[in-house]
Structure 1
Amino acid sequence: MKMPIPDYLTEILDHVRDSDGGEVADYIPELAGADPDRLALALCTTSGHVYSAGEHADVEFTIQSISKPFVFALALQELGTDAVMEVVGLEPSGEAFNELSLDDNDNRPVNPMINAGAIAVNQLINGVDSSVEERVEKIRDLFSRLAGRELRIDGGLSASELDGADRNLSIAHMLRSYGIIRDSAHDAVRSYTDQCSILVTTRDLAVMSATLATGGVQPVTGERLLSPEACRLTLAVMSSAGMYDGAGRWMAGVGIPAKSGVSGGLIGTLPGQLGIASFSPRLDSQGNSVRGVRMFELLSHDMGLHLMSADQQSVPGVRSITRDGDDTVIRLQGTINFTAAENILHELSAHNLGGTRLVLDVSRVTSFNRMGRRMVKEGLRRLREDGFRCSIFDPDGVVTNLEFSDGTLVDTVDVL
């Protein structure tokens, strides 16, 4: 059976494709010439299944500010929370990402998602006495392992950004004047700019964000890269400050810890479930991808992904798959949301299904959310196209009137 998830992601892309709001980041020469019509979407489950849509899903672009949460997690991993908190706070700023401001009480940057905080955190990596080259290599190596492939730095874009880095240089001078960083302002900004110039794809970002969702285990390779504590604190900061001064509206409406970048990338992480990434270069006034924001809004609504939603339960979905004569019986359990439905469809795809009839037993299912119902129905439709007769055992009427797109209903059976 062909998985229906890429088709759903394509529907999301088609829904936002004609939106032409926003502008590319023209204050960075290398980004000013970006193709504004590029569009891609990908997600990676905590079980390591990666799905993508859009012809630009494997197109490389610079990670920019999406690098901030991962470097923050690396600093926490290397030094511990107390040491990192000596140079950066955890509070939302309510200000632009490149504002020259520090906390009035202790002169620290208020959080690691704005530029002042990110520059301060960057300087902790590999020790405060590290060279720029060694520090950047430590970051590049982690990002490569997070993505599951070797990543590289776009030297041309880094040089382009450095040529116009007056604002960040001012921030670095401010940090140095208060003893937050030791490097020269130029070296600090060079190190931070190289961090932001690492090239990634939309698929890379989905896998990287899913690593935060697992508590630090790269879901495809199985390698532990970050501690659960570092991931938990990183996601907490993303939820409160990842979308800059729009973070409150984002969490209220979308409800997914997220981080944006001015090259058009956007990531979201749902703990214990999945990582999501989108790519579309047109930005709004806050520096967030216009079509990316809309894609996340649709995904959150359709899939029930809001962090504060009662749907947020991670369950296996499949209880058992057994053969009884000519029937294969698939027994489900728990609440069937997106994560459970994806697991169900993946297990069915991997299972050597036999016989001529498939019976879906939902007697132990407590409920289906909208996306869980849609995905299970689509899976049954595709299995029917593969030649199976599909029936459902639903004594409590959990999924009454399960209808295919041609108007026919799934057969029901009274007993198993």
Structure 2
Amino acid sequence: MNHQELFRAALRAIRAHKLRSFLTLLGIIIGVTTIVGVVGIITGLNTYVKEKIIVLAPDMYIVTRFGIIRSREEFLKAVKRPQLSWEEYQRLNSGVLTHAAMVGTRSFKQLPVNVGDKRLADTIVVGGTANFAPILGFDTQGNGRLFTDAEDQSAANVAVIGADIKDQVFPNQDPLGRTLLIRGLPFQVIGHLPKEGKGLGINRDQLVLIPFQVYRKNFYAKKDQLDYFIKARGGVEGLDASIDETRAFIRALRHTSWRDPDPVGFLTQDQLQELWRQISTATFVLLTLIASVSLGVGGIVIMNIMLVSVAERTQEIGVRMALGARKRDIQRQFLLEASLLSMAGGLIGVLLGGGIALLVKAATGFPAQITVGIVLMGISLSTVVGLLAGFLPARRAANLPVIDALRAE
């Protein structure tokens, strides 16, 4: 038999038992739908995290009280560390760090914001040095401007607001030059940010950015979190040298013994991306294992249905072999039937999984990304499962004795 005859024979056998064929597909459909949906959402989430949340440049790092916490023990040790202080920042920013091109700081807390009769009870107000915004890539994109170092040093009451804040308190208005109250203190809006989303744990669309000196004067307390943002001199090549220099200086400031661990944590782009890779990989593996159970069940169903099909078609197999069909022709036909069934289930699963992922994205804004690679993976995986599941029935059909097959009723 040539390939076209095999294909037509396999299709005839599948069409002859439509309901059974559909029920055979269910396990494959559910498994592939789950895998494609999970992979699509995780792929989109990886892209989103890389582009939107991990906004730290590769030549920059953050000095923080906690750093990356991977266990309860690390958390308990970090809690015992004293908060980073304004006085320490002044020492770091005094020119002692020869490997640092820029040193900035920020602190933030939730404060009430009022404009007329509009009140936002828990708005994130960020107090940062003038170089903090460029360090993290804040840009008004022509919608006003960021505050200057002179405005920071003079504790000017100016503010840059996020896109959601603008829409909530200045709907259908140009906010530039208008006044908002932060816990009763007036600030003039000098710029507003485009819609961006979260970055390093803060939703940029829902914040108000003000100069650090006015923040320190009116809202800052020593118990509040303070982080240092440092740009290495010499780009990425100078990152390690800058971190080592800052580490040594802070250890000296805090009189840390050489036996003791660092009294602060350091965050770099590579560390944040590696942490996210570990989290997303663990999630992907867990969900894939769960989906694989469904695929395995689908493969078992296909194998059982194909064994029933062999039993029902024993006489047909005997006639075909008596008329000259070879064992390999019989085996290839049953393998083709199994692979066509599973491929069809995989295709349906890809469509359903992709549709679910995109529906979740449209309904919730949760990132999802269906690529050609994901589609091919779903179809290929289902086809392989079908081939493996159909091997035993195909072999049994091919090895039937011709005389016994012809006698079957």
**Same fold by TM-score, threshold 0.5 exceeded?**
no
Larger helix share, 1 or 2: 2
Q: TM-score if structure 2 supplies the norm length?
A: 0.20
Q: TM-score if structure 1 supplies the norm length?
A: 0.19
Q: Which has the larger radius of gyration?
A: 2
